[in-house]
Structure 1
Amino acid sequence: MRPCQSSSTSRQATSLITRYYTKYSVQLDTNKDTHTMASNDRPVKNASGRYDNVDFRKAAGYEHAPIKCAYNRRDVLLFANAIGCQKEELHFLYELHPNFAAFPTFPINLAFKQTDQDVFDFIARTVTGHVPGCPPFDAQRSVDGERGIEILRPIPVSSDGLDLEVRSKVIGVYDKGGAMILEAEQLLVDKKTNTAYTKMTSTAFGIGQGGYNGPRGPTKPVVKAPERAPDAVHIIKTTPEAALLYRLCGDYNPLHADEAFGQRAGFKGSILQGLGTWNIAAHGLLQKLGGSDPSRFRAYGARFKSVVYPGDTLETRMWVVKSGGGVDDVVFETIVKDDGRVALSNGYAKILQAKPKM
């Protein structure tokens, strides 16, 4: 997610901005890779600082080492509070509720949190591994493009008794001239049974890391909102403490806590996590169109567009564009109501229709 700024401010802050936005794109690459690459798969840096032997096509299908994950009911409760679940949604907020459930997008943070139950050095953890045919992905010059999640089966309220891991593989690496685009897919799997719970997708932009005449990749369709009033609107005024609360879900980047740190990065101060905004919007969709029923939430995703500050009012506008087979296809956008800037674009969701009451 890249913030909208004046060109002069942007130039001055580029190195800091790109460094501290990498968390959204590289967290799944942190462990040692599963196999050793052949020497002819590893590009070699030349005297100019560029790389020889680059072939992005070799990257497709490459699998990173799995990331072990674990969580408890308290983590599930904390996440629900952080994304704005309300008292009338007590099944997300109270562990003794007869229908207690994890919010469906909860797994998106597990690759950050891993197995930790304490704070950790977030910056030290964001280290990328090598990908065949590609120069080292410079985490200090990358930004997140978009995130998506597909719910394959209900998310357990804790990992007790499970051996969970996130398995990440490269879908493709593309060359846009000025940028290298890395698309990845992640599965949350119980290693004991090989049961997959969610499939997650991510797109990262490596700024200044393209220009190797690699494949440009497929053109993604633009999700356009209908030219009519939305079918539902969710409005939430975030609190000044919103980023401080959400960071306890596993995103301990100082950019979301330290005002001076945020200012040095070219912002007005500390900023809300991109995935914080993303999950707040997910909650709005499920609440307004899915009756806050986690079993109805099947798929969701959006593109990061601009920065959000704690205290901003977020307005998510949603349209049901297709209904069939018991499923509503939804498109949405999230804006900052205070000034109209778009925070999330290309938003989509699949929500099961309510079953008729007998």
Structure 2
Amino acid sequence: MSILLGNLADALNAKLHGDKNCRIDRIATLQSAGPGSISFLANHRYRGYLSETRASAVILSPADWPECPVFALALENPYLGYAKVASLLNPESASPQGIHPTAWVSTKAIVDKTAWVGAQAVIEDHVLIGARTYIGAGCVVNSQATIGDSSQLMANVTLCRNVVIGKRALIHPGVVIGSDGFGIANDNGIWVKVPQLGTVRVGDDVEIGANTTIDRGALEDTVIEDGVKIDNQVQIGHNVYIGAHTAIAGCVAIAGSVRIGKRCVVGGATAIAGHLNITDDVYLTGASQVTKSISTSGVYSSWIPVQKSLVWRKNVARLHQLDEMARRIKALESTGKVLSGDES
């Protein structure tokens, strides 16, 4: 489909610089764009490509507009503008309705007539599937699970018993929600399983990336609030509570009974130890190791950025000598041979 540039400006509430009748039919990067394309500049690292772009128009900030050689839509958040334009130019196709002949649906399940259940899917007893919901091929929805209106389960998603999914969820292939949490008790060196009696409750407008796993609660439920966005291959332990509009990048591991506040960002490969509380509006940079609760909003980091191997090896060697170095410095300071930090 194509949209007039003036209509895009209205949709974004953006300042239009150029011909409102310019027709846009696709979105592309600054480097690859051609006539009919709209591009965007949201990261200053790519500013060098702006002067040479062949796009018909560019979405950018007001500060970057004077350097733009083509038509422009100027707004304060160009990346958000890009996201909205991409959706407008690429509307989702209508979902099919009905039940595929190879699907197995319990006669005790309730499936809205406008929903779709795909090939080889299994829908067990007392499942409730809302209007316009899409259940992809190979999905398994165990007994008494509930899926809200307009949600999408892509291929091979598993919802275990009693799981609740809100409205407009997007759950990508291979996700498992509601499997048992890692609850074990030690009996003189022998591990005894602790029954996991809770479930998982997922709010509205949640997206969960491929092959992510979310464990059911032990006694209380695991809760994912409205608007949470979770990337691929994330592990969320039992009894975790994630506040609304938090974003979690790939390969994060969250141990049991962690509470994460609203509007947090968890960088990729971060590990969060169990039974911690993280307040609202916390940003954890990638590969952070969180071992204590965070009560003040802000940006937190705990990992060493990459460096040449030889430098890293030397630093690790020095790290193992810190206790001895501290002892020697203390001894020298006590004899007056080392100046304290406030002396000149």
Q: TM-score range by the shorter chain?
A: under 0.3
Which protein has the larger Cα radius of gyration, Structure 1 or Structure 2? 2
Q: Which gives a bigger RCO, structure 1 or 2 (Cα 8 Å, sep 6+)?
A: 1
The structure with more helix, counted as a fraction of residues: 1
TM-score, normalised relative to structure 2? 0.23
